[in-house]
Amino acid sequence: MKRGPELLRLAETVVLPGFEGRTPPDWIRRRLGEGLAGVVLFSRNIATPAQVAGLTAALREENPQVLVGIDEESGEVTRLEAVDGSTRPGNFALGVADDTDLTEEIAADLGRDLAAAGVNLNFAPSADVNSNPDNPVIGLRSFGADPDLVARHTAAWIRGMQSAGVAACAKHFPGHGDTSVDSHHGVPYVAATAEELRDVALRPFRAAVAQGVRTVMTGHLMVGALDAAMPATLSRAILHGLLRDELGFEGVVVTDGIEMAAVSRAYGIGGASALALAAGADAICVGGEHADEATAIAVRDAVVDAVVEGRLDEERLADAARRVCELALWTTSAAHRTSASAHPAEDARTSAGPPIGLAAARRALRVTRRSSATALPLSSPPHVVELAPEMNLAIEKGTPWGVGEPLGKLLPGTSVTRLEAATATGGAIETVLAAAAGRPLVVVVRDAHRHAWQTDALRHLLAGRADAVVVEMGLPGRSDLGAVHIATHGAARVCGQAAAELLAGDPAVT
C-alpha cells in the first residue's frame, strides 16, 4: 500500500482535533477545506454563546458539514458555562430525582442551547455505573450506583439531546464506574468478571444502543475479563467483539482523549491512534492537552503509516471514515428538522415557572434535621465556610460552585471563608469559629468522604459549633453531621443556588 491523496483524506477524516483561541486558527480553516471532518471545542474556545455561534459559523464557511464536538455533560463538567457555572444539575442529582421525563427535558434544553451555538456532537452522557464511591473521576457524573436507574436515565438523556439535532455520546465504554484510578494519569483496572460486567456496567450501554445513540466513547480501561493485554480503547475484542457484534452498535465509536496517559504513555499519541482504529474506533479525539497542528498532523501521518506498513487495514480506515461522514450528514439533516419545528410546549413550561435546571436542583435536595436548636430558614446572615478539594481534570478549574455567593445575594451580610487542604489548619478553623460567633454557621463540603482533611476540618468545626448547618455537595456521605444536614447531590452552581434558597427561606423551595 502506497501513500496517496485518498489515503491522506481518509486519515484526515477520522481525526477530531482541538485548537487554541476563540476564533478558528488558519490551520484549522485550511484543513477543513482539505478534508478534516470535525473539531472539538474546549472551555478555552468559549466566552459567550454568541461568540461560540460565531466560531462555529466560521468553521462551516470552510466545511458546511463539519462536526463540532464538545464535552458538555452539564453539572460539574461544563464547557459552555465554565465561566459562570452550570445552570443545570449533573447526572447524579437527576438520578436522585429519578424522573426520566425531567432528565429528558434537561437534556433537550441543553441540546437546544448547543444547537443554537452551532455544536452538533456532545460527548455525553456518562453512562457509567458509579459502583465505587471512591472513584476519583466519575462520581457525580454518573446517574448513580443502580444499573437499572443509570440505564433508564441514560436512555432519557439521549432522547432529549438527540431531539434537538445534537448527537449524543454514551461514555466511557465499557464502564468507568468501578475503578480507583483516573485515566488522565494512569491505567484504571476493572476487576469485574464478564458476567458481572454484563449485569452491571453494560446495562446502560445496552439501553443507549437500543435508544439509538449516535456515538459511543471508549474508556481507557484495562478490563481483564475481556482483554488482558490491551485497554478498551485499543482492544478489538471490546470494540468490535463486544460493542459491535454483541451489543449491535452501528454508530461512530470515538476515543476518549488519545493523549491521556492511560494509552499514550505506552504507545505514543500516534501509535495509540492507529491501534484504536485497528481495534474498531472510528474517530480519534485529540487536542485537550496538545492543541496544535503538529499534533494533528502527527496523528494523521501515524494512521497513514500504519496502513502503508500493514498494521491497519485500509478497508477498516475507510469504514471508520464512512461512519464519521454519515454522522456529519445526520447532524445536518437533524439540525434542519429541528430548526424547522417550534417547541411551544417547552417554551411554555420554562416560562411558567423556574428555569428547568433550578427546578431539577431543588428536587434533588434532601434535608435531615437532628436538632431543633437550628431552624430553617436562618434567622440572620450566616458565616459560610467552604471546604474546597482539588478537582480532577474533567472539571474545569475555577468553575463556580458553593453556597456562599448565592446566599450572599439572598441574605446580604453573609460572609464567606474558603479553605483548601493546605489552608485548613487548626488556626484557620479557630479564626472561622471566631468570625461566626453570634451568627449562624454554615459549613459546605464537597466529596468529604474522599478527603480526610475535609473530615478532620468538619469534625473540628462541629466540635466548636454543634448548631452548624452542613451542606454536602458532591457525593453524599454521612447525613448525621450538623444540626441540619442538606445534601444537594451535585456541586454545580445551580445546586448551590437551590441550597441557598432553602437556607434563606425562599418560599418557592419546600
Residue with cell 446495562: 203
- Asked whether 118 and 66 are in contact (CB, 8 A), the reply is no
Q: What is the DSSP letter of 145?
A: S
- The residue from 172, 184, 220, 489 that is catalytic is 184
Q: In the 8-state DSSP scheme, what is residue 43?
A: G
Burial (Cβ within 10 Å: 0-12, 13-18, ≥19) of residue 455: middle
3-state secondary structure of 387: strand
Q: Classify 22 as helix, strand or coil.
A: coil
Please give the Cα distance from 392 to 189 (Å, whole number): 18
pLDDT at 346: 44
172 is catalytic: no
> CA-to-CA distance for 386 and 416, rounded, in angstroms?
8
- Catalytic-labelled residue, pool 113, 128, 178, 256: 256
How many other C-beta atoms can be found within 10 angstroms of the C-beta atom of residue 349? 14
Q: What's the chain's Rg over C-alpha atoms?
A: 23
Torsion, Cα 268 270 271 272, to 10 degrees, reads 80
Is 185 noted as a catalytic residue in this protein?
no
pLDDT averaged per 10 residues in sequence order, the chain, 510 residues? 82 96 97 93 93 97 97 92 92 97 98 97 96 83 96 98 97 88 73 94 98 97 94 97 98 96 92 98 93 95 96 97 97 70 42 83 94 83 94 74 95 95 92 94 92 93 94 87 94 96 74
pLDDT tens digits for range 356-387:
999 999 999 999 998 777 778 998 999 999 99
Which uninterrupted H or E stretch holds 338? helix 314-339
Virtual CA dihedral for 48, 50, 87, 96, nearest 10 degrees?
Answer: -120
**In the chain, what is the greatest distance between 2 CA atoms, to the nearest angstrom?**
79
